[in-house]
Amino acid sequence: MRFHRIAPAVAALALATLAPLAARAGVYVSNVDDETISVIDPATNTEITVIPVTSEPRNLAPNPDGTRVYVPNRFSDSVSVIDTAINVVIAEVTDPSFFEPYALAVTPDGGEVWVANKQGGGSETGSVTIIDAGTNTVVASIDDPCFVSPEGIAINPVSARAYVVNKNGNSVCIVDTGTRSVVTSVAVGSAPRYAVVTPDGATVYISGSPVMRITTATNAVTSVSGAPNGRNMAITAAGDKVYVATQGSDIKVIATATNTVTALPFPGASSTYGVAVVDQTSRGYVTDENNNEVLVFDTSTDTVVTGTGIPIPVGSTPRAIAATPGPPGKALVLPARVTFFRPTIGSTPTATISIQNIGQGILTGSVGTLSGSFSVLSGGGAFSLAPGATRTVTVQFTASARGTARGALVITSDDPTRPSVRVPVSGIVR
């Protein structure tokens, strides 16, 4: 194994020095033969722009906050960096360590981009190049005989491990992202192509013949019955489902709790290749490489979505596909506390708490429960709020006896700055 520190080398546009603007939700499609990226607006399911890149764009991926999409250009030996706020390539990263860059993954903190090269230097037939996402420069490369024509890579969001999927080696190399060295490898199915990791970091799913799963605590490998073959994949944010493209007329849906498999057929489809999920809108997107279009399905029901403009026409030979989450929602909860002051014994006064989404994206969350003398009359449970929308929660106090009663209503959401809000509730009966 050889590990190299590399002097920075990047061909960057002037825009590359700008700080990231707010991301927008989008679905990005690699059109291999057009050398372009189609951008689909998930709100309208239409192609809104086409971004030129270079030769044979492959398994692209966004960073965690969705402000950047990175595109490996296989035969240009480069990686294009797209600013998702303006949908323009702001940098083209080049380096001698690139040799058919085919797939990439971004570290959970967004600081590094790990690129799997299908070919490698020396006697190896594959390698990994590491890009510093802050400067868009190559900072290291890893050459190891373990890499054998890799076409997929995934990074565990919990542990310091990267999983490099070797198509020709029928194996997965497990790399320590801290030491940047291969720690072990495991045998998987025939011609593995892709990997996704569950949000808790406990399981890695590997496409191939058949689809396999790695238990990360032990690196034990088991097959997924009912998924005899697979190409690219996607996993929901909750980690409850894995969607597997088959290069046929359907995709497979794996329920991760039981690892049971169902088929989702698409009438008229020829070769499903890539899958992406937009969790906030409960929509999934599938490339059909032979028909030059993107299919749409509902992830809450796992049914095909039809309508005007669907399937969505895109460029020539669409293969990989990825989705950005867009800007987050932001919760404003008022009032900060609720006090029922001196109600009459036996009365049941009410008060309201408002949850307003003051962010730019959809806010999803849940309103907790109250106990004892307090209860939630309305507005409880799960919610999803568009920007500017408000959820009203009505709470009730049962003034059964003199004294002071206390409780708290907890509101959780995907607001990244304030995921949990505790509203103290009290009642004072004299």
Q: What's the pTM value of the predicted model, to 2 decimals?
A: 0.80
What confidence score (pLDDT) does residue 7 get?
Answer: 44
**pLDDT beneath 50: ranges in the chain:** 5-18, 122-123
**What pLDDT, on the 0 to 100 scale, is given for residue 24?**
66
Please give the Cα distance from 58 to 399 (Å, whole number).
65
Position 359 scores a pLDDT of 86
pLDDT value at residue 384: 82
Q: One-letter amino acid identity for 314?
A: V
Ordered by where they begin, the domains of the chain are 2-324 (2.130.10.10), 331-429 (2.60.40.10)
Q: How many residues does the chain have?
A: 430
Task: Give tens-digit pLDDT for 160-172.
Answer: 999 999 999 999 9
DSSP strand pairing (420-429 vs 338-341): parallel
- Which long-range contacts does 186-191 make (Cβ < 8 Å, 24+ apart)? 186/214, 186/219, 186/221, 187/221, 188/212, 188/214, 188/221, 189/223, 191/167
Alpha-carbon 381 to chain mean position: 25
What whole-number distance in Å separates Cα of residue 59 and Cα of residue 51? 15
Count other Cβ atoms within 10 Å, centred on residue 283.
20
pLDDT tens-digit map of 1-45:
555 544 444 444 434 444 555 556 799 999 999 999 999 999 899
